[in-house]
A and B are shown apart, each in its own frame.
Chain A
Amino acid sequence: MLAYLVRRLAWGVVTVQGVLLFLFVLFFLLATPDDIARKAVGEKAPQAVLDQWKQNHGYDKPRVWNPAAPADTMLFDHFRRMLSFDFGNSDADDTPIAERLRAGVGPSLAFTLPLFVLEIVFGVGLALFVAFFRDTAIDRTATVLAVLAMSVSTLLYIIGAQYVLGKLLRWFPISGFDPDPSVIARFLALPVIVGLLSGIGSDLRFYRTVFVEESGKDYVRTARAKGCGEGRIMGRHVLRNSLIPILTQVVVQIPFLFTGSLLLESFFGIPGLGSVTVDAINANDFSTLRTMVYIGSLLFVAGQIATDVSYTLADPRVRLG
C-alpha cells in the first residue's frame, strides 16, 4: 500500500509539472506578456507605460532562453514560484493572490459542504427508492424527469430560482452572503437548492444504473430466496456493494469543495474562490487564473489518491499495489 501511494504521488508530481508546462504555453507563449500587458494598461497607453507594467509584474524577462543567466527566465520563475506556493500579486489590482485565496476558502466551504452532503443524500436516497421500484411506473417517471432535469441549463435554474423563489415569493434573499452563523443559512438556502436541482438529474440516473445493475446479481437473488425483505436487500446488500462506483463519483469532488463553484457563487454573491475566479476572468487577471488552475490540478491529484485509498476502506478485497 505504501509503495503504491508513493508511486501514485510521484506520478501526481509529474502530472502537476505537465500542468505547469501547459499553463506556461498558454499564458506566456500563446497569450504573450505583451498581450497581457496591453489588456491591463489599455489600447491607447504609450509603450513606456506598457514596459513599466511588464517590469512591475515580472513579465519583462526573457521567456524561455536567457544566454546570460539561464535561470533568469519567465519559464524558470513560473515553475519556481508555483512549486513554492509563492503566487505573487494579482495582475489586475496588485493584491497578494495568497491573501485572496485565504479569504475565499471559508465562504466557499460554507456553501459547497452542505451542497455536497445534501447532493449525496438526495441522489443516493432517491436512486435507491427508484431502483427499488425498477420497471414500474415510478421508475419510468423518475427516469423521464431525470432526463428533463438534465436538459435544463444551469443558467436557467439560477435565473428561474432567483426570480420565482426570491423575487416573486420572497422566500429567500436573491443573493448575498453573511458569515454570521445565525443568518448564513438564509443566504445559502437558495444557491444550495439550485445546486441540488441542477445536479439531481444526472446523479439520479448514474446511481440508479449502479443500483439496478447491482440488484441483478446472484447474491441478491440468493438473499431474496432466503426470504430477506426487499427493503433490507436494497438498503444493506445493494447499497454496501455499490460503494465503489459511488466513491469513484464522490471522493474526487471533495478537494474541489475548497475551490467552490464558479457559477453559483458569483450569481448568488458568495465571496468564495469561485467568485475570485470569475472576477479574475472579468478583469483579465491572468496571474490569478493561472494560480486557480494550478491549485485545481493539485486538488484533483489529491482527490484521485484519496479515491484509491477510499476503495480499500470500502471493500477489504481491494488491495492497492
Chain B
Amino acid sequence: MLGNCAVAALVLAGLAAALRVGRSPLWRQAGRELRRRRPFALLVVALYAAIALLDSIAWVDHEGGGVHEARSLLVRAFPADFREASYSAPLADVEFYGGAPLRHPGSHWLGTDILGRDVLLQALRGARVALLVGGLTSLISIPLALLFGVAAGYRGGRVDDVVFFVTSTLASMPGLLLLVALVMALGRGPVQVCIALGVTGWVGFARLARGETFKLRELDYVQAARALGVPELRIVLRHVVPNLMHLVVITFVLTFSGLVLSEAVLSWLGLGIDGSWGQMIDQARDELSREPAIWWNLTAASAALFGLILAVNLVGDAVRDILDPRTLRERA
C-alpha cells in the first residue's frame, strides 16, 4: 500500500517535472539533443518505465470465492494462474527435475523458478522495484540535499558550519556499512531501504549544491534582487534553486544506477526489497551449484538488471555532457 502510494507520488512528481520541461525552451532543446544522441538508450529506459508502470497498476478481483491478491496489469497480460509445481527449463514441456508434465507446456519462455513462477514475469516485475528504489530514493535525497546545500551556501556562517558537520559525519562512515546499519535499525521493507539509501546518498549532492549556491549568490542578478528588497526566501526559490535544476537532473540520472546496484548488494545481505533482481540473483547463487545447474533464473535477472543500468549509464553520460557547460567547455 505504502509502496503503491510512493509510486503514485513518483509518477506525479515526474509529470510535474515533465510539464516544467515542456514549458521552457532551453530544457526542450536539451531534450531534443538527448533524443538525438541517445535514441536507443532512451527507448530502453522508457520501456523499463512502461513495464514498471504496468506492474504498478493493480487491483483485486472479487468474482469467485476465496481470498484474492491484487494483480497488476502486467500480471494480467500473462495467462491466469501461470504457475507450475517447480523448476522447468525455458520453453520446456516437462518439469526440470522428475519430468512431470507442465500445466502450460512450451509457454514459459524463460522457464520457471523453484516455486514454479514464470521467470520472465518475475524479471519484468523487477523493473517496478528498481524504479521504486531509484525514484523514491531520489525523491528523498535530492530535496534533502537541496535544502541543506542551498541553506549552507546561501546563509554561510553558523548554518554552513552545522551542515558541514552533518555532511562530514555522514561521509566519514563507510557507505555500505552505514547503509546496512540504517536498514537494520529502521527495519526491513521497501520504504525503509529507500530511506536508508537516501540518507547515505544525499551528502555528495548537498556539497555540490552548496558550492553552486555559493557562486550564484554573488551573481549580479541575485545582488540586484536583494538590493530591490526581494524577500530572501523568494530569491532562493526564484533565482537560486531554478539555476540548480540542471545539477538535480544530472545527479538524478547519474546516481540512479548506483542505487539500483546497491539494492542488489543489500538483497544479497538479506536486507533487500522483495521481488528485486538482486533477490533473484541472490537466490540463483545456490541454483547454479545444483546438478544439472539452473541457469535461467540468474541469466534473466542479471540481463534485466544489466540492461537497465547500461541504458541509464549511457543516458546519464549524455545528460551530463548536454547540461553541464563545464564539460562542454573542456570538449571544445
Contact = CB atoms under 8 A, between A and B. Distances in A.
B281 A159 contact: yes
B282 A155 contact: yes
A181 B222 CA distance: 65
A278 B269 contact: yes
Interface stretch (B72-80, B103-111, B164-172, B228-236): B164-172
B122 interface: no
Report whether over half of chain B's contact residues are helix, strand or loop; otherwise say mixed.
helix
Nearest to B299: A156
A218 to B, nearest CB: 14
B152 to A, nearest CB: 16
Nearest to B171: A300
Interface residues of A, number: 44
B298 A15 contact: no
A213 B327 CA distance: 10
Given A147-B313, A159-B285, A281-B180, A259 B174 contact: yes
A163 B177 contact: no
A300 B174 contact: yes
Nearest to A146: B313
A19 B173 contact: yes
A26 B185 contact: yes
Interface string B203-246: 00000000000000000000000000000000000000000000
Interface in A95-140: none
Contacts of A22: 169-170, 173
B46 interface: no
B265 interface: yes
B281 A31 contact: no
A282 interface: yes
Nearest to A284: B184
B305 A153 contact: yes
Contacts of A286: 184
30 contacts: A14-B165, A15-B165, A15-B172, A16-B172, A18-B168, A26-B182, A30-B186, A148-B310, A150-B309, A151-B309, A152-B306, A152-B309, A153-B261, A153-B306, A155-B265, A155-B281, A156-B281, A156-B302, A163-B288, A216-B330, A259-B174, A262-B176, A263-B265, A277-B177, A281-B184, A289-B177, A289-B181, A293-B178, A300-B171, A300-B173
Interface of A: 11, 14-16, 18-19, 22-23, 26-27, 30-31, 147-148, 150-156, 159, 163, 167, 213, 216, 256, 259, 262-263, 277-278, 281-282, 284, 286, 289-290, 292-293, 296-297, 300-301
